[in-house]
A and B are shown apart, each in its own frame.
Chain A
Amino acid sequence: MTRAAEHSHALAPAPRRKQRRPLTPKLKAGLCILGIYVLMGVFGPMLLPFDPDKSDILSRLQAPSAQHWLGTDQLGRDFLIRLLFAIRIDLPVAFAASFVPMIIGTALGAIAGYYGRLTDTIVSRAADLVQAFPVYVFLLVLVFAMGSGATSFIIAASAIAWVGYARLTRGEVLRLREMEFVAAARVTGLPESRILLTHVLPNALPQTVIYFMSDVVMMVLVLSSLSFLGVGIQPPTAEWGRMIAEGQPFLRSHWWLAAAPGLMVMVFGIGLSMIGDGLDEWYQK
């Protein structure tokens, strides 16, 4: 162990080294589901000889067959490859739409909580204002105003979702700031910014990571909802919410067109929820 590591270890009770602890069953199952989605998204479309976006009106609305395992949609596109292709849209966009606000929110919350005073007032009032809106309706309108698409969605989500992270981090930092190991770090003459970065923030991180997982689930749901409403990802790009909307008119005859994309969203959400819950258990052990 190096001197620096020894030093920080003596001051901060956590984060402890967690690697040696076995993963909980929930965590394992969740990671498996996420892993399968990533594999399906990366390799799945390569194995199928179809173009996900090219329509072929003559072979529209076919039932599942040896050639098209899940049949074709209303424009004659292979349904399976579109389901898999959508992973490449929904996953990265949802992760980005949670990750960017996580960085912004954590930074703002940490500064507000650690330095207090004016910074705290500004951040807290801004958070109040955002929360006074029905946030996801606001998100919808923002995406529309900026023009539909993945980039608009990520920007609009960041403008709104930072609040949750800021509240969480601010609370944690306020709590940790008063703890003894922080006082001890101060005595050693470390600059405040270093104490915040190396001693306070790492201890606030577990809660943030758990919240991030639930946020990604939320963002997949919101993204697919917006696409369902016609505001999110635009056709012809395959996206689960959009695909459900396109399947709605054929509910009587081709129910799977609407059912399958919803299942894809649900199983993905369950996987991430399990990772979140599992991490919670794991950290608490």
Chain B
Amino acid sequence: MSGLLDITNLRIDLGQARTPVSPVGPLDLTLDVGECLGIVGESGSGKSLTLKAILDVLPEGLVRGAGTLRVMEQGKWVEPAAKDLRGRKIGLISQEPGAALDPLMRVGDLIGEIVRLHSGCSRAESKTRAIDLLRQVGVPDPEKRATFWPHELSGGLKQRIVISMALACKSEILLCDEPTTALDVTIQAQIVDLLRDLQKQHGLGIIFVTHDLALIRQIADRICIMYAGLIVETGPSAEIFKAPQHPYTRALLAALPDIEASSGNLQPIEGTPPNPTDFSVGCRFAARCALATEACRAARPLLEKTERGTMVACFHAGVAP
């Protein structure tokens, strides 16, 4: 497979803190053409921030503190500024389709605006292209829907509009920030199918952030498990689901019911993730980990290759609790 996106040493900092605080990172991510990378973690693990950091659209108070971001452009790795990637190479799909669309603009105009911005075409042309896009993402009766206001559409349709905006300019990478969380179960499945179809048609690379393990198992080729702003385990999806190595991953999978890998008895993970201001020098999971030793508290384990082709950041990787 050929590379598409390569991020190294990405870090997100709290803007005006006196002592530097980094809720996320440093972490590395790669994505290949046509690949779907899943990022999994509890809420607050920084998975959603990681996506936003890629396009540098972090919420106020947070900044991309460090990291290099390279993309493949005609066979060469280049390092463009975030604003040159937005909407051109990389599109973003957010969690809340209701909030993602400006309520005071008709959806056709919203899509048309993005189309015009990137292609510089005329108003009339952008209108037909917007309708084409709506058709592509499976919106029924697109000519009519284009004249609708966002609030006149269902959640599923709104999410399709958001996807069409992300695709408006032939993005090669889609960043999906829990795109189905706010939707009904049946609609969730439709949106996931749509994303898979689009991925196949256009050879898109997708980074899919979610806390839904069952979903990620269905769609991701490779997954990263994030905990307290760091990747603790990563590798091919099948391997990780078959034999999780990190205690946190195991606990996550154990919390999932009907999974063969789980030992059968359902156990919620005790405790809560630490606050970014309380991050310790050691392993951030140590406080909740049954296997934690002095070594875990003294130094942070780094990601190491395992013989199964995955990478784990744990001194006790693979040890059964």
- A and B in contact, CB less than 8 Å: no
List B residues at the A interface (Cβ < 8 Å).
none
List A residues at the B interface (Cβ < 8 Å).
none
